[in-house]
Amino acid sequence: MAKPKKTPRPKAVTPKGFRDYFGSEVTGRSEMLDQIARVYHAYGFDALESSAVETVEALGKFLPDVDRPNEGVFAWQDEDDTWMALRYDLTAPLARVYAQHRNDLPTPYRRYAMGPVWRNEKPGPGRFRQFYQCDADTVGTASMAADAEICMMLADCLEAVGIPRGDYVIRVNNRKVLNGVLEHTGVTDPAQAADVLRTIDKFDKVGVAGVAELLGKGRLDASGAYIDGVGLSDDQAAPVLAFLTSKGADANETLTNLSAAVGESAMGAEGVAELRQMAELFAAAGYGAHRIDIDPSVVRGLGYYTGPVFEAELTFEILDEKGRKRQFGSVSGGGRYDDLVKRFTGQPVPAVGVSIGVDRLLAALHAKGRMSADAQGPIVVTVMDRDRMADYQALVAELRAAGLRAEVYLGNPKNFGNQLKYADKRQSPVAVIQGSDEAARGVVQIKDLILGAKLAETATLEEWKDRPSQYEVPVTEMVTKIREILDLY
Amino acid sequence: MAKPKKTPRPKAVTPKGFRDYFGSEVTGRSEMLDQIARVYHAYGFDALESSAVETVEALGKFLPDVDRPNEGVFAWQDEDDTWMALRYDLTAPLARVYAQHRNDLPTPYRRYAMGPVWRNEKPGPGRFRQFYQCDADTVGTASMAADAEICMMLADCLEAVGIPRGDYVIRVNNRKVLNGVLEHTGVTDPAQAADVLRTIDKFDKVGVAGVAELLGKGRLDASGAYIDGVGLSDDQAAPVLAFLTSKGADANETLTNLSAAVGESAMGAEGVAELRQMAELFAAAGYGAHRIDIDPSVVRGLGYYTGPVFEAELTFEILDEKGRKRQFGSVSGGGRYDDLVKRFTGQPVPAVGVSIGVDRLLAALHAKGRMSADAQGPIVVTVMDRDRMADYQALVAELRAAGLRAEVYLGNPKNFGNQLKYADKRQSPVAVIQGSDEAARGVVQIKDLILGAKLAETATLEEWKDRPSQYEVPVTEMVTKIREILDLY
């Protein structure tokens, strides 16, 4: 008889491309999302939490052609053979929810949603297969007031989480204007039009001169490779270049330049009119160009959206991984997409929405030093006498009743050094110590761990003696003394 | 050539067993979880958010024996053939996280976690395949102070979310006491011991007399069927019955009764000593028996845990679906489970934790009328004149600046009745109306929609005339007047 094989121990690892979030990583994000939710809510947007799991059919785009629809999503088959998948964004589920519940929902339907989404992609440094999104969308209205509202709400969100005015700008462009520009070029071949769009997408990288070369004969790459051009004549390329460089001194000048760039195109004129309506609403509501700006050089997302397109950029500088200064960059994008619900119902339903990049915005707040307060751990009441646990719990209860985060040490109390090491690992600001002698005298020792750590690092013997980091106070003054210490930091 | 088949429209449905949550369903839960998180945090517990996806190997219990490990979890294979699955609770991921990061985590490690979990089970009425859990656990200490702390924290959580003292009780039992009782019965055959445990599990349903019959010869079921008994003698059954009925007038009496029920068993004596330590800590901290009670009749979960076991019950009465009064029942359970991390590391790691049933607790708060305030919609500013959208946006901006939730109507403004129907669907308390005439005079009309609805339902013509539900006020008094109306409700 074969010996039964011993099952090897399982490996304790997160799956590839996933990670865990600890302590202030969780609470910092959650506070930021709460602040954003309060703004969304104040604007009349209603919360929606759809299930993390959707049918592949409802998600669309990922229909099973081979064995399993694993292109970009995590998918599996239910017992009845239905393909299910984890949502890859919050917009596709919104389309499904709106189509399913449209008779019960108000029209227009303003909704916000925040939560994790999953992508079945190759993980890389800083690229995870589960991350948060935070969206607001208005479904069921073509009014430019909806688009303008979302841009202004986005500005309010950025300020609510702690990005000061002047450190961000929301740039607005319009896909219809671009379509008008394409009409004006006279390009009619769809393949060539697609080439023009792809070239415009490179504007951020190669600038206007680069785009001009790429629209014409081609361009010698920085790497030395020659990139073939789209083959437009200079006359044909002119409207595209005019479009990309039409930003004027104010919205009026920009809009006049755009009108020229679209020529006689009716679609283009419609796009310019939409931008003008939005600009008027921004101005009337007091959102100046330093906060929301009509800027045709914003090309990201132009391919995806059908009308207005916008992007929030943080304009302050940070140091990149090579120590060079650069602008922080984009933290949010959105726009109008009018065919959202059509694939379910056959009816076109106009919609506009915005998505805030949660992790990028959190990184920005860290860079601005807005996230530090949360890193402090609890006050630790140490255990000098195992039999007096009830007394120590009474001390932490008193601290908590005073609104202070506090806990009693629950490990083996034998080695006092371990208790202080534990407090250190918890980033505790203060430790409370009470042996039987102190208890008999009705006092506690309060150890200022922050000052203690500083002294240990830098102090001379004299300073060490002059600035004690431990105080004996009557139990009745424990809360007052600790508050005093915490107020220092 | 065959005609290309037209793709049928996808169905807009949630996958079987999943659901969407709207508006106050989302915000009500989120507020409740925030309140609980604040208590957990004040007790020194740290937030942990592990990924929703785990390797099947790390989850354990669901190893692939046939084609796919679909027993109870949603699972699929990654590109490198690793089986992955959605977490089915928050405890298995905690075990993995603790084993993986134990060198960086403090010991003991107090952590809390809240979020969705997924079960691949047959859905039923009110049973969903995705639901929330909300856990707190202390890993790495065998001290009964940890167990007592979690029970007291649970009491604080229930009060923090709005369950008043007197409406809940946390009952505490201990698995070691039960083991001692089994030793005292003299049952040594493992199969028979398992039968005794199964019988004890039926105590809630059949009471002490029923358990007595089932431990002995057997019992005639309510349905008329005869259920075979375990076959213990009366002497053998006596300790079990003594255990189940050992609740005395106070903790001391209960513990004395339990000591008798375990006889000479060392394991039993250890369990009684653990309960005594906890009882002393509860008493010292002022958590009386009306809040936390030693109660050996709590048998749910006794099979799963290894030491103390506890359960929070809500004691107020609600009407069940048949209109009969019954106690609300259990909303939370927990206990000590000492083998959590061992499967990963080989080292036993003591741990104790609690899980709050988020949906049950929410239902309880609804039953107590604690969740109503949130259902109110935003103030709706109607659109009388499409060209004056900027003015209407100025009105909502003023309302929001005053802390009031407000929005402008963004649908087609042509039909004014539709605007009021929309406000009704949004459950708006107030609508603001300003035509060009009112604008010229610097006033707005404020419509009290709550009173309006009441009058429409019940008022006589006289009352209708006497109590107008619409007021004209200067724009400068809009906020004051609306506050006055909202204060009425």
Please give the model's pTM, rounded to 2 decimal places.
0.91
Q: Compute the nearest-CA separation of A233 from chain B (Å).
A: 39
Q: Which residue of A has its CA nearest to B21?
A: A49
Give pLDDT tens digits for B135-172: 999 999 999 999 999 999 999 999 999 999 999 999 99
CA distance A211 to A282: 31
Question: CA separation (Å) from A230 to A183, A200, A211, B427?
Answer: 16, 11, 10, 55
What class has domain A376-487? alpha beta
Give pLDDT tens digits for A470-480: 999 999 999 99
Using a CB-CB cut-off of 8 Å, the residues of chain B touching A285 are: 390, 393-394, 397
Instruction: Evaluate if residue A147 carries a pLDDT over 80.
Output: yes
Using a CB-CB cut-off of 8 Å, the residues of chain A touching B42 are: 400, 405-406
Q: Which of residues 428-487 of A touch B (CB under 8 A)?
A: none
Q: Compute the nearest-CA separation of B6 from chain A (Å).
A: 13
Indicate the pairing of strand A430-433 with strand A443-448.
antiparallel
Q: Is A379 helix (H, G, I), strand (E, B) or coil?
A: strand
pLDDT band, very low/low/confident/very high, at B5 (cuts 50, 70, 90): low
Q: Compute the nearest-CA separation of B215 from chain A (Å).
A: 37
Interchain contact B26–A (C-beta under 8 A): yes
Q: Which of A9, A49, A108 is nearest residue B344 as measured by Cβ atoms?
A: A9
What number is the average pLDDT over the span A340-367? 92
Q: Which of A149, A346, A400 is nearest residue B9 as measured by Cβ atoms?
A: A346
CA distance B296 to B259: 12
Using a CB-CB cut-off of 8 Å, the residues of chain B touching A68 are: 76
What pLDDT does A2 receive? 53
Single-letter residue type at A265: S
Q: Do A27 and B47 touch (CB under 8 A)?
A: yes
CA distance A102 to B30: 25
Q: Compute the nearest-CA separation of B319 from chain A (Å).
A: 28
Question: CA separation (Å) from B82 to A85, A169, B58, B96?
Answer: 17, 44, 11, 16
Percent of chain A scored above 90 by pLDDT?
71
Question: CA separation (Å) from A221 to A206, A227, A228, B471?
Answer: 10, 7, 10, 69
Asked whether this chain's domains B15-52+87-142+338-375 and B162-337 adopt the same fold, the reply is yes
Q: Do A20 and B99 touch (CB under 8 A)?
A: no
Q: Compute the nearest-CA separation of B108 from chain A (Å).
A: 6
Q: Is A37 helix (H, G, I), strand (E, B) or coil?
A: helix
Q: Is A203 helix (H, G, I), strand (E, B) or coil?
A: helix
What pLDDT does B164 receive? 94
Secondary structure (DSSP) of B401-418: HTT--EEE--S-TT-HHH
Q: Do A12 and B58 touch (CB under 8 A)?
A: yes
CA distance B4 to A164: 56
Q: Compute the nearest-CA separation of A447 from chain B (Å).
A: 18
Q: Which of B10, B12, B23 is nearest residue A47 as measured by Cβ atoms?
A: B23
What number is the average pLDDT over the span B33-48? 96
Interchain contact B35–A (C-beta under 8 A): no
Instruction: Evaluate if residue A61 carries a pLDDT over 70.
Output: no
Q: Do B58 and A100 touch (CB under 8 A)?
A: no
Can you list the alpha helix ranges (DSSP code H) found in A135-202?
144-161, 175-185, 190-201
> Which residue, B231, B254, B234, is CA-closest to B243?
B254
Q: Which of B60, B78, B285 is nearest residue A393 as measured by Cβ atoms?
A: B285
Neighbours of A85 (CB within 10 A): 26
Question: CA separation (Å) from A302 to A174, A177, A178, A314, B226?
Answer: 7, 10, 8, 20, 74
Q: Do A410 and B118 touch (CB under 8 A)?
A: no
Using a CB-CB cut-off of 8 Å, the residues of chain B touching A79 are: 70
Q: Do B53 and A10 touch (CB under 8 A)?
A: no
What number is the average pLDDT over the span A386-406? 94
Give pLDDT tens digits for A9-38: 899 999 999 999 999 999 999 999 999 999
Phi, psi of B374 (to 5 degrees): -80, -15
Instruction: Evaluate if residue B262 carries a pLDDT over 90.
Output: yes
Instruction: Evaluate if residue A110 carries a pLDDT over 60.
Output: yes
Q: Which residue of A has its CA nearest to B388?
A: A281
Give pLDDT tens digits for B299-329: 877 778 999 999 999 999 888 778 888 888 8
CA distance A368 to B236: 71
pLDDT band, very low/low/confident/very high, at A338 (cuts 50, 70, 90): confident
Interchain contact A21–B (C-beta under 8 A): yes
The average confidence (pLDDT) of chain B is 90
Instruction: Evaluate if residue B374 carries a pLDDT over 60.
Output: no
What pLDDT does B270 receive? 97
Task: Note whether B418 and B412 are within 8 A (CB).
Answer: yes
Q: Do B53 and A118 touch (CB under 8 A)?
A: yes
Task: Give B361's strand partners.
Answer: none
What number is the average pLDDT over the span A329-344? 90
Using a CB-CB cut-off of 8 Å, the residues of chain A touching B57 are: 10-11
The interface pTM score, or ipTM, of the predicted complex is 0.90
pLDDT band, very low/low/confident/very high, at B423 (cuts 50, 70, 90): very high
Q: Compute the nearest-CA separation of B117 from chain A (Å).
A: 10
What pLDDT does B326 receive? 84
Can you list the alpha helix ranges (DSSP code H) found in A263-304?
266-284
- Tokens 């297969």 -> residue: A129
In sequence order, the 6+-apart residues with CB closer than 8 A to the CB of B213 are B219, B229
Interchain contact B13–A (C-beta under 8 A): yes
CA distance B110 to B95: 13
CA distance B406 to A235: 50
Q: Which of A50, A84, A285 is nearest residue B397 as measured by Cβ atoms?
A: A285
pLDDT band, very low/low/confident/very high, at B62 (cuts 50, 70, 90): very low
Q: Which of B49, B56, B109 should we substitute to test contact with A (largest number of A Cβ atoms within 10 Å)?
A: B49
What pLDDT does A373 receive? 52
Using a CB-CB cut-off of 8 Å, the residues of chain A touching B6 are: none
Q: Which residue of B has its CA nearest to A343?
A: B9
Task: Give A109's strand partners.
Answer: A139
Q: Compute the nearest-CA separation of B66 from chain A (Å).
A: 15
Give pLDDT tens digits for A155-201: 999 999 999 999 999 999 999 999 999 999 999 888 888 899 889 88
CATH code for the domain defined by A162-307? 3.30.930.10
Pick the CATH number of B15-52+87-142+338-375 from 3.40.50.2000, 2.30.42.10, 3.30.930.10, 1.10.10.10: 3.30.930.10
Strand segments (E) across B351-462: 351-357, 379-381, 406-408, 430-433, 443-448
Give the end-to-end CA distance of chain A in Å, rounded to a whole number: 70
Domain topology for B162-337? BirA Bifunctional Protein; domain 2 (3.30.930)
pLDDT band, very low/low/confident/very high, at A220 (cuts 50, 70, 90): confident
A to B CB pairs, distance under 8 Å: 274
Q: Which of B18, B53, B145 is nearest residue A15 as measured by Cβ atoms?
A: B53
Interchain contact B343–A (C-beta under 8 A): yes
Which has more confidence, B371 or B471? B471
Instruction: Evaluate if residue A308 carries a pLDDT over 50.
Output: yes
Phi, psi of B39 (to 5 degrees): -65, -50
Question: CA separation (Å) from A176 to A204, A207, B218?
Answer: 20, 22, 81
Instruction: Evaluate if residue B38 carries a pLDDT over 50.
Output: yes
What number is the average pLDDT over the span A272-282? 97
DSSP at B475: G
CA distance B106 to A227: 56
What pLDDT does B456 receive? 77
In sequence order, the 6+-apart residues with CB closer than 8 A to the CB of A21 are A29, B47, B48, B49, B50
Which has more confidence, B173 or A69? B173
Give pLDDT tens digits for B183-216: 999 998 888 888 998 898 888 889 999 999 999 9
- A163-199 in b/e form (b: 16+ CB < 10 A) is beeebbbbbbbbbbbbbbbbbbbebeeeebbebbbeb
Q: Which of A22, A74, A96 is nearest residue B12 as measured by Cβ atoms?
A: A96
CA distance B364 to B368: 6
What pLDDT does B399 receive? 96
What pLDDT does B172 receive? 97
Q: Which of A7, A21, A26 should we substitute to test contact with B (largest number of B Cβ atoms within 10 Å)?
A: A26
Q: Do A406 and B97 touch (CB under 8 A)?
A: no
What number is the average pLDDT over the span A267-271? 97
Task: Note whether B120 and B73 are within 8 A (CB).
Answer: yes
Q: Which of residues 68-107 of A touch B (CB under 8 A)?
A: 68, 70, 74-76, 78-80, 82, 84, 86, 95-97, 99-101, 106-107
What number is the average pLDDT over the span B468-476? 91
Using a CB-CB cut-off of 8 Å, the residues of chain B touching A108 are: 410-411
Q: Is B10 helix (H, G, I), strand (E, B) or coil?
A: coil
Interchain contact B415–A (C-beta under 8 A): no
Which has more confidence, A464 or B92? B92
CATH architecture of B377-487: 3-Layer(aba) Sandwich (3.40)
Question: CA separation (Å) from B165 to A266, B39, B315?
Answer: 69, 16, 10
Q: Do A15 and B51 touch (CB under 8 A)?
A: yes
Q: Which of B54, B146, B405 is nearest residue A41 as measured by Cβ atoms?
A: B405
What pLDDT does B127 receive? 86
Q: Which residue of B has its CA nearest to A13?
A: B100
CA distance B253 to A185: 93
What number is the average pLDDT over the span A420-436? 93
Q: Which of residues 207-246 of A touch B (CB under 8 A)?
A: none
What pLDDT does A122 receive? 86
Q: Domain coordinates of chain B in residue numbers?
A: 15-52+87-142+338-375, 162-337, 377-487
What pLDDT does B1 receive? 47
What pLDDT does A267 receive? 96
Using a CB-CB cut-off of 8 Å, the residues of chain A touching B23 are: 46-48
Which strands sit side by side in the sheet containing B53-55, from one edge to the other?
Answer: B53-55, B83-86, B75-77
In sequence order, the 6+-apart residues with CB closer than 8 A to the CB of B372 are none
